[in-house]
Structure 1
Amino acid sequence: MYAVSNVIGSLVFGNRLDYGSERLKKYMEIIIESFEVMGISGVLTVFPFVRYCPGDPFKCRKIHQQTKFMKNEFREMMQEHRAELNSTGEPKDLIDAYLREIEKNKDMDTYFCEDQLVQVIGDLYGAGTESSSTTLRWALIFMLHNQEVLFKVQAEIDDILGGRLPTMMDKQKMPYVEATLSEIQRMGDMVPFSVPHCTTEDVSFRDFFIPQGTMILPNLYSVHHNEAHFKDAFKFDPSRFLDDEGCYRPIKQLIPFGIGRRVCLGESLARMELFLFFTSLLQRFSPSLPSGEELPSLTGTLHITNEPPPLKVIFSARS
């Protein structure tokens, strides 16, 4: 999780945080707790009045405090960037680029503003850190459960990379790795219910009338486990994403990042992270269970993301 957050931090803030820093530790604690608590506080979406109950039974006040803390942190970073902003040089990160866009559009009616930038930073850094690290943990669990897939993945990695580090240019040469990552995302269902959307007008759909302004929660789990699109949908089988020649074959019903104009903001970054982390890890190590440990469950715990169970794993260096 720390490593994934630093990749995003490098792009958004322009720097990494030391793994031992209290600041990074605080950020990670808030992200972890927020995603856990938001699963409980989801009842407020249906029954908003319960926020006025004595105490804080659904942790909504705690979420508010944590959100406020992170937004203040992001605003401080923005002010530091604004003070150092050089309009003639290349922007060094997303904050620089966005601040320039705000300045460029200051006399126009646009969505480019500091409040929107704070929200974008929060979405990329918070959601991106948690979801990508959760996917990688599910990847380890599925590799422990499917040793034959693990061996095929490592064989393809060795064949294409040898001993050098992977790059994104290698992805198209590694169809089995890509197929395996696709199957991990399908079976792990890291975000089984997509980010809430809202109808902008009245809609009639399959005998249902959905009025304008209705919150819509797309059920991605039902799509990813639909037998009409994925034969033996509850079986882990990367080969479903390969054609007869062994080339990667995308299936359009695989939509872990959602679809349409409101697709996940960090999709391209997440796909890069998953490929590079997964490939690098299995290039250098073979995961296995400690003696006496049982295979971890394939049933997760649903908060906002589908959290995998805790697990103990040994990483043995590959020769």
Structure 2
Amino acid sequence: MASLSEVVTTARDYVDVPTILVAACACLLTFLYLQWPKNLPPGPWGWPLLGNIPMLAKCAFVPATFTELSKQYGDVMTVWIGRDVNIIISGYKTIRNALVKRADEFSSRRIFPAVADLRGPGDTSTSTKGVLFAAYGPDWKHQRKFALMTLRDFGVGKRSLEGKIREEADALIQEVESKNGLKFDIKQMLPNAVSNVICSIAFGNRFEYGDPEFLRLIGLMNAAVEAQPSRDILPNIHPVFRRLPFGSPHQDKLVDLTLGLQVFCSEQIEKHRETFDPNDIRDFIDAFLLEQRQAQDERARENFTDKQLQELLFDLFIAGTETTATTTRWALLYMILNPDIQEKVRQEIDSVLGQAFPSYDQRNNMPYTTATLAEVHRINTIVPLTVPHAASKDTTLNGYSIPADATLFFNLWSIHMDPQLFPEPDKFNPDRFLDQNGNFVKHEALVPFSIGHRVCLGEQLARMELFLLFVSLMQRFTFHLPEGAPVPSTVGHFGGIVNVPHPFDMCAIPRE
């Protein structure tokens, strides 16, 4: 019988370090495979641990890549971000089936882990405060109903709000006029106007553009959007990387910015509490504080905490400012690139309004301008993959398993760039939204604000602001590229949520 030392010696003759490593990797991959949910949708091959991160890192524009991949793998596709399952849902019929016909199953949220960490104790990838990232259920429905009713009470969707937007449009026009026809980047000006409308609703007053407190708010919002959470690769591979002491410069920046916005909102809440009068409800914060005082049962008190108000304000500013400001930038870029369309828009504005300030109701008399803005929404969707969704429970779609812990992205880009729905989708063509008599025609597949239960809370406000700001600028200026400037790209920068144009300069020539 062989001794132990002989057995060990014999084993060494047949097993070397490379063999051990191969065996260990095989065991690890087998373990990971056995952990995967069964019957997942098909998708591109991914690397162990990394998944499809290397492929996505090479993409010029991720939503367009997903749209191309869907032609190979189908409308329901799996993409691995590290160890996390991400289901990409494309195509109008499939998206409508999920978000409208089966809304109760597909209307929950999947908050980015980094954002969940920052929003405080109790917030997880499936449960958080606010409205934007809150899980689908009774508490979310209650908060959304309150937010919608309060926004309407303070003018959203009504003519009473137009005076506030007009005030911001006038201030924006003065800023543009101060450039004296020389080149400038309008990127910093537009958030000032848009966020001041939100300030009027949320805080009861606007800020002067030079106000240090206002500059602080704008700086925090701009930087927070640019520091989108999906840019951190390591935390997507495994949560432990979020806890490492060395962190990442980008993650540290996101932490600082988010905490700064939270502090700003908390300060505004305390100022309102000191001057609160239940008989004089001035704004959104006062309306919330009144609900807080009137809460009768424990559940109502849990829904109307200071933390909830802070996160509601956070959602209103982040979602309501950047999207509208960015859409307006895209609109001006396409006017610069298409001077013939710019001239048609201007002629219609002159014939209907002259120099009178526009009213949102007058969009019905301005079909070409309305069609132009619809085409802006289509050709460069601002939130092309929607805010991340989640299924309310384990379910199926198109015959494939959809786990409740998967992140769901609804690819609106695939709808708006579908040649079957919108012929020559790469061409900027407002005429696609006009009938033979020149009347504006809505297209059911134009869904820039998404569809179903999670349709954008601020859609009415965003549409009103965009129309009034765009028409006001087109009334007063002719926009063109600076002499000798390169033609700006129409491929946006997509950091995970918002599709923004790359920086570009313009000249604004005042009209006589």
Residue 263 (structure 2) pairs with residue 72 (structure 1):
yes
**Quick check: 48-57 or 181-190, which moved more?**
48-57
Residue pairs, 1:284-299, within 5 angstroms: 284-299=476-491
Unaligned runs of 5+ in 2: 1-190
**Greater Rg by CA:** 2
Specify the alignment match of 1:19 in structure 2: 209
Return the offset for 1:81.
1.4
Return the offset for 1:230.
1.2
Describe the SS at the equivalent of 1:230: coil
Residues 238-260 of structure 1: CA deviation (Å, up to 9, x unaligned): 11111222221111211111111
Specify the alignment match of 1:95 in structure 2: 285
- C-alpha separation between the residues in 2 aligned to 1:202 and 1:58? 36
Residue pairs, 1:214-229, within 5 angstroms: 214-229=406-421
Specify the alignment match of 2:500 in structure 1: 307
Specify the alignment match of 1:40 in structure 2: 231
Specify the alignment match of 1:155 in structure 2: 347
Residues 74-94 of structure 1: CA deviation (Å, up to 9, x unaligned): 1121122122222223x2211
Contact 1:290 1:312 (C-alpha < 8 Å) held by counterparts: yes
Residues 238-297 of structure 1: CA deviation (Å, up to 9, x unaligned): 111112222211112111111112111211111111001000000100101111112211
Specify the alignment match of 2:469 in structure 1: 277
Q: Residue 10 and residue 294 in structure 1: after superposition, are their counterparts in 2 closer, same or farther (change >3 A)?
A: same
- C-alpha separation between the residues in 1 aligned to 2:236 and 2:450? 21
Letter of the structure 2 residue corresponding to residue 136 of structure 1: T
Return the offset for 1:114.
2.3
Contact 1:193 1:221 (C-alpha < 8 Å) held by counterparts: yes
Q: Residue 42 and residue 244 in structure 1: after superposition, are their counterparts in 2 closer, same or farther (change >3 A)?
A: farther
Describe the SS at the equivalent of 1:109: helix
- C-alpha separation between the residues in 1 aligned to 2:204 and 2:472? 23
Describe the SS at the equivalent of 2:479: strand
- C-alpha separation between the residues in 2 aligned to 1:158 and 1:125? 33
Residue 276 (structure 2) pairs with residue 85 (structure 1):
yes
**Quick check: 206-215 or 157-166, which moved more?**
206-215
Describe the SS at the equivalent of 1:85: coil
Specify the alignment match of 1:316 in structure 2: 509
Contact 1:242 1:249 (C-alpha < 8 Å) held by counterparts: yes
Letter of the structure 2 residue corresponding to residue 203 of structure 1: T
Return the offset for 1:44.
3.5
Identical amino acids, percent of aligned pairs: 37
- C-alpha separation between the residues in 2 aligned to 1:168 and 1:42? 44
Q: Residue 74 and residue 138 in structure 1: after superposition, are their counterparts in 2 closer, same or farther (change >3 A)?
A: same
Q: Residue 113 and residue 106 in structure 1: after superposition, are their counterparts in 2 closer, same or farther (change >3 A)?
A: farther
Residue 413 (structure 2) pairs with residue 187 (structure 1):
no
The two structures have a TM-score, normalised by structure 2, of 0.59
Residue pairs, 1:131-210, within 5 angstroms: 131-210=323-402
Contact 1:30 1:66 (C-alpha < 8 Å) held by counterparts: yes
- C-alpha separation between the residues in 2 aligned to 1:153 and 1:313? 18
* Larger RCO (alpha carbons 8 Å, 6+ apart): 2
- C-alpha separation between the residues in 2 aligned to 1:120 and 1:229? 36
Return the offset for 1:136.
1.1
The two structures have a TM-score, normalised by structure 1, of 0.94
Describe the SS at the equivalent of 1:10: helix
Unaligned runs of 5+ in 1: none
Number of aligned residue pairs: give it.
318
- C-alpha separation between the residues in 2 aligned to 1:202 and 1:248? 42
Return the offset for 1:187.
1.0
Q: Residue 244 and residue 105 in structure 1: after superposition, are their counterparts in 2 closer, same or farther (change >3 A)?
A: farther
